[in-house]
Structure 1
């Protein structure tokens, strides 16, 4: 038994290892603008998925500033909901999973290998993703991949597909013996491998190790950079330090070099990231260092 902050007793053994008891569903709903039913329907899952992506961007400001943070639900609640920040895949999907489980959804957490079009290089299992059951069906739910991630849950079946705006995604059961699944997005020149994942059981410590590597290892694509990504119906935006790339469904790409103040404006206006005065000063100092 333990004593909570309000003096009530609590059986520790009954707590979820993922800390879902710490999620404030009301505050989260206010953050993403959800006012619908609190059931476990497919429609509720789809609406929550889409609203989360619309309100909270993928971003690595803390990683770029070499600030290592916890990934507990209580901390993610404070960072994402109270402070108006975003985060990387582990942060997004752990918080989203906690909300879904608090509503009664059955959620499985997995770790996958990012490909981004490269099927030959074997990368570390760094990407967190979810499989969610709703109304007897299963869906890949992923609010944390950034620009290339699905805007709605994808049916968890071979050749399960969704189309949103001008983007299309599908799942492929790539290796049935090892139960490996591959998420692809449709590009003008064909299917593009996004990431692959297996259905091995993942524990909280596995997520911690994955996040630690992503946030601190010099070989990580995110260390040493401030990144923000956002996907919309007909356009994708990727900010990396001073460079803003805009990607279109027909394959067109635009690239713009920004000043430090323009980067801060983009973080605030396009990516909807709220930075405190101290965080703004730190980002400004980081961006003004010649690299």
Structure 2
């Protein structure tokens, strides 16, 4: 990169940081806190580690992972007011770009230093996947922490330290660890069935919100996207992690047990409410049932 381009890029980044890279100033933080069940005045929150834990745990418990707008053929918008309207006031869920963009805005508004990363999903056997997952790195007292509210039912509920590769990080009955590979690649792993399983990998390269706009376009419209033509709704609970993919509901338990049950179209809307706390507008619910009936 030439000297002039480097200087221009540095000025752009500095300007973005002054304005608030994640547009946190535009977020109704009190409404967000109410949505995730934190009943405190936003002015009481401080950019410290206990607050980071509290916010991520509350967010992942309250806002389900879902990509229903992709199935319904609707655009997925990442502007903060659109995210607030959908995930906060509309009480919907969202997938990684929505979840972590909203979380980043809230953390920035509280006063945290937040940067983005792009990750490769490693849960699909040995397949090499493109960078399509958005994660956050939050720095607290000089230490970086991985924060991710958007990896669905297998994701962490709490921050994971990045400065201690190999350290086991219990989160209730679930255990995570970050492994370091060559060229600074970090891999988030989960312990299941007495074995470590890779979830995703990411490099030190910082991603900006505009990068997520590009990744979001791929995930919401490319024919090879894992979300095209599928119902995907997930929730990473403490005692059980639950995922609905098309017409099958699966519950994953800490001891490795799984329970599976078919979901008929007529029971779909009630199941979304019961299992995920997700209530769709009547028009959306009718369209979702129609799609399921056509494929049943």
Q: TM-score, normalised by structure 1?
A: 0.91
Which residue of 2 is the match for residue 56 of structure 1?
63
- Following superposition, the deviation at residue 261 of structure 1 comes to 2.8
Which residue of 1 is the match for residue 117 of structure 2?
110
Q: Do residues 15 (structure 1) and 19 (structure 2) align?
A: yes
1:159 aligned counterpart, secondary structure: coil
The CA distance in 1 between the partners of 2:256 and 2:21, in whole Å, is: 43
Q: Do residues 28 (structure 1) and 35 (structure 2) align?
A: no
1:147 aligned counterpart, secondary structure: helix
Number of aligned residue pairs: 278
Of the candidates 84, 91, 99, which is equivalent to residue 98 of structure 2? 91
Structure 2: stretches of 5+ with no match in the other structure: 1-14
Q: Do residues 80 (structure 1) and 84 (structure 2) align?
A: no
Contact 2:76 2:216 in 1 (8 A): no
Which residue of 1 is the match for residue 239 of structure 2?
234
Note the aligned Cα RMSD (angstroms). Answer: 1.8
Structure 1: stretches of 5+ with no match in the other structure: 1-10
Q: Do residues 259 (structure 1) and 264 (structure 2) align?
A: yes
2:205 aligned counterpart, secondary structure: coil
Give runs of aligned pairs for residues 213-224 of structure 1, distance below 5 A.
Answer: 213-224=218-229
- Following superposition, the deviation at residue 259 of structure 1 comes to 1.4
The CA distance in 2 between the partners of 1:160 and 1:90, in whole Å, is: 27
Give runs of aligned pairs for residues 117-266 of structure 1, distance below 5 A.
Answer: 118=125, 120-157=126-163, 158-175=165-182, 178-266=183-271
1:133 aligned counterpart, secondary structure: strand
The CA distance in 2 between the partners of 1:12 and 1:129, in whole Å, is: 19
The CA distance in 1 between the partners of 2:254 and 2:201, in whole Å, is: 22
Q: Do residues 66 (structure 1) and 46 (structure 2) align?
A: no
- Following superposition, the deviation at residue 182 of structure 1 comes to 0.3
| Dislocated runs of 4+, deviation >6 Å | none
Q: 1:136 to 1:12 in 2, by over 3 A?
A: closer
The CA distance in 2 between the partners of 1:222 and 1:142, in whole Å, is: 19
- Following superposition, the deviation at residue 17 of structure 1 comes to 4.3
Q: TM-score, normalised by structure 2?
A: 0.89
The CA distance in 2 between the partners of 1:241 and 1:276, in whole Å, is: 20
The CA distance in 2 between the partners of 1:95 and 1:290, in whole Å, is: 33
Contact 1:40 1:135 in 2 (8 A): no
- Following superposition, the deviation at residue 141 of structure 1 comes to 0.6
The CA distance in 1 between the partners of 2:123 and 2:141, in whole Å, is: 32
The CA distance in 2 between the partners of 1:152 and 1:160, in whole Å, is: 15
Higher helix share: 2
Contact 2:115 2:208 in 1 (8 A): no
